[in-house]
């Protein structure tokens, strides 16, 4: 009986540890990764870049409009200067 209790305790600790790791990943790392992927995607389609300083430019980017066509976004993003 003691062996079964010990195995159950180990299983419970493992499940709690996995839950904590998943929670930390979802809370802290996933938003950072998602932001970086979107930033890289937008900088790939950057247009109308201006105000370039220290290797970074303020650019607009293409995004999908309501009817599925690509339109230039009204928002801006900071991207690496392609000419530098």
Domain limits, the chain: 2-80
Element (H, E) at 5: helix 2-24
| pLDDT value of residue 26 | 93
Answer yes or no: is pLDDT of 36 > 80.
Answer: yes
Confidence of residue 33 (pLDDT cuts 50, 70, 90): very high
Average pLDDT value for residue range 51-67: 87
| pLDDT value of residue 48 | 87
Q: How far apart are CA 74 and CA 44, in angstroms?
A: 16
């Amino acid at each position: 009986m003691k062996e079964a209790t010990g195995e159950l305790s180990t299983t419970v600790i493992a499940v709690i540890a996995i839950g904590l790791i998943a929670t930390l990943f979802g809370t802290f790392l996933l938003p950072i990764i998602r932001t970086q992927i979107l930033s890289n995607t937008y900088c790939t389609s950057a247009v109308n870049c201006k105000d370039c300083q220290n290797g970074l430019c303020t650019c607009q980017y293409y995004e999908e409009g309501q009817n599925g066509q690509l339109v230039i976004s009204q928002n801006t993003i900071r991207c690496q200067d392609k000419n530098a």
